[in-house]
A and B are shown apart, each in its own frame.
Chain A
Amino acid sequence: MSALGTGAAELRQAWRDGRARTALFALLALAAITLAIGWQQQARQESDVAQATAVDRRLWEGQATRNPHSVAHFGQYAFKPAGALSAFDPGLTPWLGTALWMEAHYQNSATYRPAEDQRDQPILATLSGAFVMQILAPLVLIFMGFGLVARERERQTLKLALASGASPVAWLTGKFLALAVVAAILYLPAWAPVMLADSDDARQRALYLALAYGVFLLTIAALIIAVSARAGTARGALLTLLGGWVLMALVLPRLGATFAEEVAPSTDTGQFWRDVRAALEGGIDGHSPAGAREEALLQETLRQYGVAREEDLPVSFAGISMQAGEEHANVVYDHFYGRLQQDEQRQRRVLRGVSLLTPWITVRSLSAGMAGTDAEHHWHFVRATERYRRDLQRYLNGDFTQNAKGQDFDYQADPRLWRETAVFSYRAPRVGEVARSYAPDALLLLGWATLAVVLMLSAARTLGREASSS
């Protein structure tokens, strides 16, 4: 009764306070604008991807009679679909690239990074619903909650309330409930992804995402109450909370990323490609030059077909050699791209460690993960394109091997060969798979929520004694 009564009284005052109403409406309006812009950008990207995919496929199928290896070099683009939830949280998408060129011999990195075009855009266009929820909503909560206890201590209404017989725990819980209602209003934009979702899977992801933001905002609310209850003055509470916000929401995530980079440095792009080129040429061990490998392959092929000379082979050795080159390159790429992914995994583990110091890293990670805009989804896409590329190379080299005997690169294949190839289509990992991967982050967030509640309740226990100092 007293918790609900306290919460209701607080909300009544907040509603009558024009500043609180203005702050709430301003944030919700900003969230609506960023969501509308995000949705528009996502829809445009979807449309661009659909158009580019169609054009690219038309060009691919439109190739006239030619050698299969030329077709392999002609290549195709794979465009990363902008998932529906990316309108809410673009995550790392702007930095990771949205298109991948699939061609013979090379596993290229993704290109077309929206971040490269963002410098000239108005700031609103670069904001997202996730930014509003992660950075601005907690700030509004701080401004609305910093004085909930500290100001009452200053005004001595706290003393009057406790002297009236209020239970400190129930009274503080009432204050928390009031702030939780404010948080619930600020939380409305987190439900936008549920409406944006275009499939059951996306809808389920959106629900997890909304759940994560709900726990996050309640955690922040409990931390605000705990600080306000322990602060001597409202001004002290505000300064502490703003300092904490700057540190935990802005500084630590950045420092965490730098620290993760220090602990598990990623390979420099230039060095990466130098290493790849060296390994392609000399083998991963550096002692298997391409010439020696080709000679060994020839001897092996001759032995397999029981002939003594290349001219006596019933198939094109050039085709076999090209496929062997692809297989060798695949091992090289698996090794070096695998190393890149391992670096990122190590960085992610380090960041998880840093997130013991701030819940912002955790919620950012969970949000991007559920929106499908994190590094893990990017690698999932990269692996899918690479599987497609390898299958295509095997298919084209197979045709070359079987039909180019005696003609090699003069061989001209029927266009049906590539027109009948499957169209690349990508399906993002299922929500269950993503949820499993993010279980440690979810546990970390729950840990933060538990800690916040414990801090709040422990502050309540001292409230009755502290009131006399006011």
Chain B
Amino acid sequence: MLECRQLAKRFGDVVALDALDLRVAPGEVFCLLGANGAGKTTTINLFLGFLTPSAGNLRVDGVDPAADPRAARARLAYIPEQVNLYPLLTGLENLDYFSSLASGRRISEAELLEYFTQAGLAHEHARRPVREYSKGMRQKVGIAIALAKRSRALLLDEPLSGLDPKAASEFCALLSRLRDDGAAVMLATHDLMRARDVGTRVGIMRAGRLVGVHDTADLTHSQLEQVYLDLMRT
């Protein structure tokens, strides 16, 4: 579903990503771990077609995002670290707007409310302006947008950052459900514990290179932490 070979991205002399080989299959949550500047967001931006690769190739459900970014984005849902919405619109209006951008059609209000609920948001919040929402609620609207898009692949760029534990837990539960429904998920995060819980595999990045890939089933939380710290030290 999400695939890249020898993917590289340079900004002038700076190598942001180097020889990345990766494949995220349907029903899998692949967690990208690494320090700031390791190349996680660059990887996501390449899959979204916001950046063009310096070398290598990548595919989203068989579509090259560098050649046809819109077609690739149509097959993806994306949730950034901060889901910034339109503060003067209600949650439902934001969902309606972004969903119509994705599908090119208007989704009925009943269906939108269904996605709203599935994302863990209460009905009574649907008609309140987003400026009154907490970060966790905005992230959930981001999930609702992704749900409404019915994409088979999700790119999540540190979506857990700044969420309170309850919101983070609910968010991960949603991800697990999407994974179980067959979605291919790439999750960039600093949160090793959540990565271990929700991920099927973790990839550890350092200075633009993928330096280690592990099945989460093979590691406990503390083992993952140790592996991560060891790879960061070397």
A binds B: yes
A interface residues (Cβ-Cβ under 8 A, vs B): 1-2, 5-6, 9, 12-13, 16-17, 155-157, 159-167, 171, 464-465, 467-468
Within 8 A of A (CB), among B25-64: 45, 48-52
Assuming the contacts A5-B101, A9-B93, asked whether A163 and B73 have C-beta atoms less than 8 A apart, the reply is yes
B145: Cβ under 8 A from any A Cβ: yes
Known A9-B86, A9-B93, A156-B84; 15 more pairs at CB < 8 Å: A5-B97, A5-B101, A13-B89, A16-B129, A155-B84, A159-B80, A160-B98, A162-B73, A163-B48, A163-B50, A164-B73, A165-B104, A166-B101, A171-B101, A465-B52
Set of chain A residues within 8 Å of B93, measured between Cβ atoms: 9, 12
Question: Knowing A165-B102, A171-B101 touch, does A468 contact B51 (C-beta < 8 A)?
Answer: yes
Given A5-B100, A163-B78, A166-B101, residue A157 in contact with residue B86 (CB < 8 A): yes
The one of B82, B88, B101, B105 in contact with A164, judged by C-beta atoms closer than 8 angstroms, is B101
Whether the pair A9, B84 counts as a contact (CB closer than 8 A) is no
**What residue in chain B is nearest A167 (Cβ atoms)?**
B70
Contacting residues, chain A, for B204 (C-beta < 8 A): none
Bound Cα distance from A12 to B76, whole angstroms: 28
Q: Which chain A residues border B69 with CB–CB below 8 Å? A: 464
| B149 at interface, CB cutoff 8 A | yes
Whether A2 contacts B73 by the Cβ 8 Å rule is no
User: Are A161 and B101 also in contact (CB < 8 A) when A17-B88, A155-B84, A156-B84 are?
Assistant: yes
Binding site for A on B (CB under 8 A): 45, 48-52, 69-70, 73-74, 76, 78, 80, 82-86, 88-89, 93, 97-106, 129, 142, 145, 149, 155
With both chains docked as a complex, state the minimum distance between the C-beta of A21 and any C-beta of chain B, in angstroms: 12
**Bound complex: CA of A408 vs CA of B77, how far in Å?**
103
Chain B residue at minimum C-beta to C-beta distance from A168? B70
Q: Which residues of chain A come closer than 8 Å to B97, judged between CB atoms?
A: 5-6, 9
What would be 15 A-B contacts, judged by CB atoms less than 8 Å apart?
A5-B100, A12-B93, A157-B86, A159-B80, A162-B73, A163-B48, A163-B50, A163-B155, A164-B78, A164-B102, A166-B102, A464-B49, A465-B52, A468-B45, A468-B51
Residues on the B chain within 8 Å of A164, using CB: 73, 78, 98-99, 101-102, 145, 149
Please give the distance in Å from A427's CB to the nearest CB on chain B: 55
Q: A13-B89, A468-B50 are in contact. Are A156 and B101 (CB under 8 A)?
A: no
Q: Which of A2, A13, A157, A167 contacts B100 (CB 8 A)?
A: A2
List of A residues within 8 angstroms of B142 by Cβ:
160
